[in-house]
Amino acid sequence: MIKSKIKIRTRYVPAGIKILYEDRDIIVIDKSSGLLSVKANYEKDKTAYSLLTTYIRKGYAKTKIRLFVVHRLDRETSGVMIFAKSYEIREKFATQWPNIEKKYLALVHGKLPEKTGIIESYLTEDADYKVRSVDDSEKGDLAKTKYKVLKEAKNTSLLEIELLTGKKNQIRVQLSEKGYPVVGDEKYGRENTSKVKVRLALHAWSIKFKHPFTNEEMLFETVVPGCFSNFI
């Protein structure tokens, strides 16, 4: 793990996030499942963005630091996220984003006949905010998801996912449409008929990039949630 350049004030870190690294330009966190990345119409207060803003201003009420979202995770998805401390740094991330390596772990229903591959489709969002694939390239955005089967059980498979593009709900939609929905995905997958609530088994496991200011190569990996090992 890369050592943080700014001391992490552990006692001020709010529930729902773990700070992996901080310097004058960026903050890297591990977001918990169930926490929104940024505000939405139905939730404006408790988000990763708002909690992290409170953290960096704790004890420094007059600080001028403002956070900028580099990328987002679905509410139910846990894992690594990056925030920039200036607009300029965020824009530098935007220019290199296609070359940033983003890997996820996904636990899915079923066994894939091909153990490695790339799923491609054009994604569009309906009026009900649900994403789906369309045949017409002019009506959707190209989404590419690379996968590799890491382990199989009786009725589930653990996949390593590499995002080659970054579209809303991309992993969940494409796997579901292939017939292998993510475990716990009530929006795109199977309805949970049991009384036990199962979290979405999708985790942003690692991210590799060049620091936008120092150009240093950085790799951050997060702890794999227990729900993955429980199913395998």
- pLDDT digit string, tens, across residues 155-180: 999 999 999 998 999 999 999 999 99
Confidence at residue 193, expressed as pLDDT on a 0 to 100 scale:
58
CATH number at residue 216: 3.30.2350.10
**Beta-sheet strands, E only, within the chain:** 17-22, 26-31, 68-69, 78-84, 101-109, 116-125, 131-134, 141-152, 156-163, 202-210, 217-221
Q: Residue 61 pLDDT > 70, yes or no?
A: no
Please give the Cα distance from 217 to 209 (Å, whole number): 6
Question: Average pLDDT, stretch 7-31?
Answer: 92
Res 44: pLDDT? 57
Residue 189 lies in a domain: yes
Does 121 fall in a domain? yes
In a domain? residue 2: no
More confident position, 95 or 39 = 95
Task: Note whether residue 1 is domain-resident.
Answer: no
132 in a domain, yes or no?
yes
The verdict on whether 74 is a catalytic residue reads yes
Residue 60 has pLDDT above 80, yes or no: no
Average pLDDT over residues 53-75: 84
Count of C-beta atoms within a 10 Å radius of residue 55: 19
Comparing 42 with 202, the larger pLDDT belongs to 202
Residue 154 token pair: 């009786």
Distance CA 227, CA 224 (A): 8
Range of the domain at 94: 10-231
Q: Give the residue with greater pLDDT, 193 vs 166.
A: 166
pLDDT for position 228: 81
Instruction: Give the integer Cα–Cα distance in Å for 217 and 210.
Output: 4
> Which of 25, 30, 74, 185 is the catalytic position?
74
pLDDT at 178: 96
User: In terms of C-beta distances under 8 Å and separation of at least 24 residues, what long-range contacts does 127-135 make, across chains too?
Assistant: 130/187, 130/188, 131/167, 131/168, 131/169, 131/170, 131/173, 132/173, 132/177, 133/173, 133/174, 133/177
3-state helix, strand, coil in the chain (%, to 5): 20, 35, 45
Q: What is the pTM of this model?
A: 0.90
Q: In the predicted model, is pLDDT for residue 31 greater than 60?
A: yes
Is residue 140 within 8 Å of 134, Cβ to Cβ?
Answer: yes
pLDDT at 232: 61
Q: Tell the residue number behind the tokens 């569009």, with chain if given.
A: 124
Domain count along the chain: 1
d(CA 214, CA 26): 11
Question: Which of 18-27, 179-188, 222-231 is the least confident region?
Answer: 222-231
How many angstroms separate the CA atoms of 154 and 126, rounded? 35
